[in-house]
Amino acid sequence: MAELKKIYRTRIRSQLEQAGGKAVSYKKLYAGCKGRKPSAATFAAAVAELKKEGVIIESKSGIKLCGSAGVFPAKVTRLNKTFGFIEREDGSEVFVPGKFLMGAMPGDTVLARLLPQRGESPEGEVVAVTEENFSEFTGTVEKNGDTICIRPDSISKELIIVSELKVPVRVGDKVLAEISRRGERHSDHRARITSIFGDSKKAKSSADAILHINGVEVDFPACVLDEARHAEHVGIPEGETSRRLDLREETIFTIDGADTKDIDDAISVAKTDSGWELGVHIADVSFYVKSGSELDKDAMLRGTSIYYANKVVPMLPKELSNGICSLNPQEDRLAFSCLMKLDSEGKLISYKFSKTVIRSRVKGVYSEINKILDCTKNNSEIPKELAEKYDGLVPSILLMDELAAILTENKLKRGAPQIETSEAKLIIDENDVCVDVQKRERGRSELIIEEFMLMANTAAARLAKESGVPFVYRIHEDPSPEKVQELVDIVSRLNIAVPHFSSVKPKHLAEILEKTKDLPLAAAVNNMVLRSMAKAKYSDEPIGHFGLVLEDYAHFTSPIRRYPDLAIHRILTDLCYNKQPQKFMQKRYAGFAKEAAQQSSECELVAMRIERECDDCYCAEYMNAHIGEEFEGIISSVQEFGFFVELPNTVEGLVRIESLKNGPYDYDGHFTLTKNGKNIYQVGGSVKVICVSTNVSSGQVDFTVVGDCRDEAESQ
């Protein structure tokens, strides 16, 4: 059969080539392939194989070679409710409207062809699904008449009928389902429900579903837990402290959020006649997580801890993350310290990486340190409870603030864009319900930690580059010329003077932000600048960091919650502590550094998306208790379908264009909806809105505008 199928494949291709791009019927092709020993089954297998490989395509008119039909193979990368994206073999993406997906699912291999391009992205349609690779999806149970259906969260806006029930469900349940039978449209698919997360109106149910569908394992395998418990039991082995630099008598302490349990960095500072001595002391996680161990394998797969609402899915078990590796106050801990000397202007003069043992004096809290700094600045008395907690540490806190101010000024002099991001603090009650959303404020202590960590990260990258060893760098590439030009066009339309440049530098973006920082458009311009920049990622090549304006940068300071930090601790240990030769370092770490960088970059993107989606669900849950209430916010972005409004507490909701009175409105393609040529709704504008609906399951909040803004604008 194999030999006959091979003959059939050759004859099929030959006949189609002779047809010159015209379709040939299945019957005619078979007739041309029969020979002396006809086999319909073998012929059908040959056709199916060629279709799956993307060599031929079959339609109502017959069979063609894909090349002659303008058809190409691709893989479905992701779906939204109304559209999807496929990836060609060269890596380029093609946008596919939902009606042209033919029921294709993420991971499917398809045949597609291009359509006339309407926007900036190439557009296409799926003509055949050649390999099905998708199964699970999440959604909400609904009823269509007497039929139980699922409203998918992302793969389609169509209801999918449930063909069989393995578990009892109720309307409104958030569920996990799998495709049991495929159709040629998403609405023709059939599914079976396999798990129930709970009420879709509860953010926790949706967050659990988001974690599951993204493949996040909340629990650790038994073998990983066994290693973590063993490490916790052993603690600091006898004799280990004598092998290390003993810093337990030094004034070292941590500064974190009040609820932080995985504390991986501590700091110390001293002023000298010539400048400063800065110590950044990081939990020595690599001492406990050995290369090749089950802990290490699992940590690399996870890549990072995931934080959302009041929860964390840790990269390492709590026995390590909250226990023996966490720099808890008044407990001996193993650390990897970066000991730096800076001149009076904050320039890094020298540095040394040492394995140390430390004892943090106190668990500093951002809000408490900020209070101490405010009291000192205002010459007011520090509250008694804070004075007692930080007894003997206030002089160090003031020195830290002084040095951080110098380092911040240096960053501004380098031309680093000061991009602001709105971060929410979600207040969750004992029932796992979001009862408040607050804007997270950054004070001086947050900046102190940020600046000191930047210095240690810079020193780590500089040492690796100068030593020529494989490493995992944190890189930020230059923005693409296309995105920069788009930013310039948009900002110019807002009548904001744009600096002249032939090649964009960080200082040019910093200048745009500086010019607009006091304008109503500040937040919008900030977001535009952010979107124009490339995404930071990890690499084994030291190409520098555009946003920070640093030639050398890596992530050294958070090995409890980021795998790249753990990876470079392992490399630096062999470089600085075990004094391994360069040849050994290259052989041992070249492949590891490349793999760790790629895996960490991918995991970071997934984690960021999960955190954003989960937090959106909790924000929608909070707003569900405020339907009908009036708020004032700022228009954060404008789209063809409406505009988004951000409230002072960072919650963002959509005002749909069909909800606006006295339409129609014209969209300028950038940031404005106009009526009769007048700007009515523009990015940065203040607007009063009413919360009219929420969808906790999707994290969607809908607003309507209070009053008729068009009349208000025309009366001015």
Condensed to tens digits (0 to 9), the pLDDT of residues 555-598 reads 999 999 999 999 999 999 999 888 888 889 999 999 999 999 99
pLDDT at residue 595, as a whole number: 97
Q: Token pair of 273, please?
A: 């006649």
pLDDT at 36: 54
* Four-point Cα dihedral 504, 506, 511, 514, nearest 10: 150
Contacts with 432 (C-beta within 8 Å, 6 or more apart), sequence order = 202, 203, 204
Kindly report the number of other CB atoms within 10 A of residue 496's CB atom.
15
Q: Determine what percent of the chain is predicted with pLDDT higher than 90.
A: 60
Q: Among 111-120, 481-490, 533-542, 692-701, whose mean pLDDT is lowest? A: 111-120
Among 47-51, 67-71, 361-365, the minimum mean pLDDT is found in 67-71
Top-ranked range on mean pLDDT: pick from 129-138, 167-176, 484-493: 167-176
Predicted pLDDT of residue 15: 80
Q: Is the pLDDT of residue 107 over 70?
A: yes
Query: What is the pLDDT at residue 709?
Result: 42
> Which residue type sits at 39?
S
* Tokens encoding 414: 């380098």
The average pLDDT across 44-52 equals 80
Lowest mean pLDDT among 60-64, 151-155, 289-293, 502-506: 60-64
- pLDDT class of 119 with cuts at 50, 70, 90: low
d(CA 212, CA 199): 16
Contacts of 150 (CB under 8 A, 6+ apart): 137, 139, 140, 141, 142, 159, 160, 162, 175, 177, 191, 193
- Which three-class secondary structure state does DSSP give residue 556? coil
- C-alpha closest to that of 529 among 502, 490, 500, 476: 490
CA atoms in the 13 A half-sphere facing the CB of 165: 12
Report residue 448's pLDDT band, with 50, 70 and 90 as the boundaries: very high
Lowest mean pLDDT, pick from 79-83, 175-179, 326-330, 341-345: 79-83
Burial 602-634 (b: 16+ CB within 10 A, else e): ebbeebeebbebbbbbbbbbbbbeeeeeebebb
Using CA atoms, how far residue 225 sits from 237, 319, 322, 510, 567, in Å, is 19, 8, 14, 47, 20
Average pLDDT, whole number, for the chain? 90
298/292 Cα distance (integer angstroms)? 10
List C-alpha distances in Å: 607 to 297, 522, 610: 18, 28, 5
pLDDT band at 716 (very low <50, low <70, confident <90, very high): very low
Amino acid identity at 247? L
Res 78: pLDDT: 84
Query: SS3 of 429, please?
Result: coil
Question: Could you identify the residue written with the tokens 């749909």?
Answer: 656
Is the per-residue pLDDT at 60 higher than 70? yes
User: Would the pTM of this model clear 0.85, i.e. be above it?
Assistant: yes
Asked whether the predicted pLDDT for residue 629 surpasses 80, the reply is: yes
Give me the pLDDT at residue 1, please. 67
State whether residue 371 is helix, strand or coil: helix
For residue 408, give both structure tokens.
Answer: 């911040």
Give the angle 629-632-633 at the CA atoms, nearest 5°: 125
CA–CA gap between residue 554 and residue 462 (Å, rounded) = 9
Contact indicator for 474, 544 with CB cutoff of 8 Å:
no
Q: Tokens 């399951």 label which residue?
A: 697
Residue 657 vs residues 51, 124, 692: alpha-carbon distances, Å: 44, 27, 14
Check residue 614 and give its pLDDT: 96
148 vs 191: CA distance, rounded Å: 10
Q: What confidence tier does 361 reach under pLDDT thresholds 50, 70, 90? A: very high
Say which range, 324-338, 454-468, 486-500, has the weakest mean pLDDT. Answer: 486-500
